[in-house]
Amino acid sequence: MSDLHQASRPPADIEPTLDLGRAWLRFWFEPADPRPLAVVRILTGLLGLLLAASYAADLERWFGPAGMLSTDAVATWGSRPSASLFAIASTPAFLWTAFATLLLALAAVMVGFVSQPACLVAAVLWASLLQRGPMLAGPADDCLSVLLWCLAVGPCGAYWSIDRLVRERRGLPSPENSPWARVSLGLLRVHVTAIAVAIVLSQLKGDVWWDGTAAWWLAGRPSQLLSLASLFRRSEYLMNLATHAIVGFEIVFAVGLWWALGRRLLARIGLIAWPLVGVLVGEPSWGAAMAIFCVPDAVADR
């Protein structure tokens, strides 16, 4: 019997490969609790409505039939506005109908009404709006697109939603842990890591992030909600500390999010740190979007 047990064991030289394969399958397909996705859905819908509202005041001025951003002007940016639903809006009524549909889809995402289809519709319409005016899009707009596409994969309406209320009224069983929830959560972590790595690589190309003066330049921008330029001017050490702390946090975040022991703590720090970085760089909505990415790992049990 001992010999049979030994024969059934894989050779020692392929054990690491098998362990890697098991870890891969656990990361992507082990059934997961959809509750964190529900929190991300609510916050994403709210952020989406706030970002969409920023386009509403000048919608016709930018994208209308006689707007400043004609399809020819957008084409000079290397984009294809013809692929955008908003580009074929030949009348103000058509333009506002498409925009109202986007708002309704984002509202449906927030309250969890037909959640996954709503996420898909919102993602397509939001991408269409950004394609119509790519020069107007900010980092928060791009993050919102990623969040919506990731949510469209998993059962994001399983909890705290109108969908859940409908299920309870019909007497349907409560949702269980789902492999699709795991896929959606995995996509969120992969994307936020990629964003953090891209930020670090971009920053390290500039001398100001090496010599410690980047924080001063960022704090002195006119778009700041909170200006720390005068404080940095009085203390070079504080300015250098702030600059290198930003880069250091981003590096630790990108790496540490994949370390099981410190993941939850780091994600909870990210809930506070990313909005603070967003305020400092003049992109508070982007900081909020990055914090939303942190929610699943921040509330996870392990």
- For residue 2, pLDDT over 70 is answered with no
Q: Considering 170, 204, 238, which residue would you say is the last residue of a domain? A: 170
Number of domains in the chain: 2
- pLDDT for residue 234: 61
- pLDDT for residue 130: 93
- pLDDT for residue 4: 46
In a 13 Å sphere around the CA of 250, the CA atoms on its Cβ side amount to 24
Q: Considering 111, 144, 170, which residue would you say is the last residue of a domain? A: 170
Domain match, 302 and 279 both: yes
Residue 26 in any domain: the answer is no
| Segment 38-97, tens digit of pLDDT | 999 999 999 999 999 999 989 999 998 888 888 777 777 765 555 788 888 779 999 999
| Segment 121-179, tens digit of pLDDT | 999 999 999 999 888 999 999 999 999 999 999 999 999 999 999 999 999 887 889 99
Average pLDDT over residues 90-115: 96
- For residue 273, pLDDT over 70 is answered with yes
CA gap 136, 31 in Å, rounded: 39
Average pLDDT over residues 91-113: 96
Residue 236 in any domain: the answer is yes
Domain match, 102 and 190 both: no
Domain match, 102 and 134 both: yes
Domain match, 143 and 213 both: no
Question: Residue 222's pLDDT band (boundaries 50, 70, 90)?
Answer: low
- pLDDT for residue 144: 98
Contacts of 250 (CB under 8 A, 6+ apart): 196, 199, 200, 203
| Segment 170-219, tens digit of pLDDT | 998 878 899 999 999 999 999 999 999 999 999 999 898 988 888 767 76
Domain match, 64 and 88 both: yes
Domain match, 229 and 297 both: yes
Domain match, 83 and 125 both: yes
Domain match, 159 and 188 both: no
**Closest-CA residue to 255 (of 156, 170, 161, 189):** 189
- For residue 232, pLDDT over 90 is answered with no
Q: Considering 121, 140, 170, which residue would you say is the last residue of a domain? A: 170
- pLDDT for residue 129: 94
- Higher pLDDT residue, 30 or 3? 30
Residue 228 in any domain: the answer is yes
Residue 208 in any domain: the answer is yes
Domain match, 89 and 187 both: no
Domain match, 199 and 266 both: yes
Domain match, 144 and 221 both: no
Domain match, 102 and 194 both: no
- For residue 233, pLDDT over 70 is answered with no
Residue type, 234: R
> What is the residue range of 288's domain?
182-302
Residue 275 in any domain: the answer is yes
Residue 92 in any domain: the answer is yes
Residue 20 in any domain: the answer is no
- Higher pLDDT residue, 221 or 103? 103
- For residue 302, pLDDT over 70 is answered with no
Residue 24 in any domain: the answer is no
